[in-house]
Every structure is written in structure tokens, then in C-alpha cells.
Structure 1
């Protein structure tokens, strides 16, 4: 992964907004881009390879499921990450699986 890539949990698995968003915006220099930025989100079923797709397309570093350990929830809540080498500045959002087994929603 690229050095300047970072990820940040925006909303916890319990639905609580992380009030330290300023750390992400400062680390990624988001404010320097004014209104010239894009946000891309991906939603889908648990273990649908959402994190993998975002990591491949935007060079983010979202945690991915290890198939050898079995299928289980990897992403909880909503995570955001800075896309690398993309113009305009792009924020990728990785959303918890829409049918989370751990939440009894199968």
C-alpha cells in the first residue's frame, strides 16, 4: 500500500459517530482541496469482497477477510480511506455488510 494511505472508522459498529474526524481531515490534507473532492461508497453482503475492491481500485488499506480463517465479519460500521493517485481527491467509504451474520441479519 502507498505510504500516504490512511483509514479511519467514521461510525462504529454500534452506530456511534467518531468525533475525531478532524484527525483524518488533517492527516489527508482534505481542507486544502476545498470543494474539489469525490466520495465513493460501496455496500453489499457480508464477505462480498467490498474491502478488496476498494483496496484494488483506490489503493486504500481497509482490513480484508482471510478466507483461511473462515467467513466472518471484517468491517464493522463505516470506515473511510483516502484514495491514492486519483484526481480529484477521493474518499472511499467501506460499509459493514448489509446482511451481517454477527448481527443476526441473515
Structure 2
């Protein structure tokens, strides 16, 4: 059954802005990417504690070991963060390019 082209209209918001087609699956993908970024919170708090902990007496060997370990953690975080933000930007760009809802 074909729709009459004269009767097809776009769904619009209160200010007559057309609504994009965004599925629940698209929202879940965005949420998963954001959750992956949020998963770094605990690890980053450990790195933050290392650099904020300046009241303890200096133990050079311990500081060198912890600094080395934290530098690896940060490098891993940085690579993952760049990947996730790129993925998030691509997902948002794809959603912006979606067609508008027509009924």
C-alpha cells in the first residue's frame, strides 16, 4: 500500500523541528560506549591518589615503582579514551545523518 505523497508529513517538535529516526538499539550503543569510558573512574582515582599523596615521607624506590606502574595505566587509559571518544563521535555523527520521521 503506497502513501499519497500529498498526505505525507513530518513529525515535528513544538518548535516545528523535524524528529530524527533513532532506535532503542542506537541509544544502547551510545550508552555502552559511555559506560566503557566510565569504567575508568576507579583506575583514574588511583592515579589521582598517587599524585595527590605528597604528605608521606619520600621513599625513592617506592615512588619510582609506583610512577612506572601509573605511567603504564595512564598510557592505556589515554589510548582507550581516544578510541572511545572517536567511537562516540562517529555514533553521534551517524545519528545526526539519520533521515527524519515521516508518517
TM-score bracket, shorter-length normalisation: under 0.3
Give the TM-score of the pair, scaled to structure 1.
Answer: 0.26
Give the TM-score of the pair, scaled to structure 2.
Answer: 0.27
Larger-Rg structure: 2
Structure number with higher helix proportion? 2
Structure number with higher strand proportion? 1
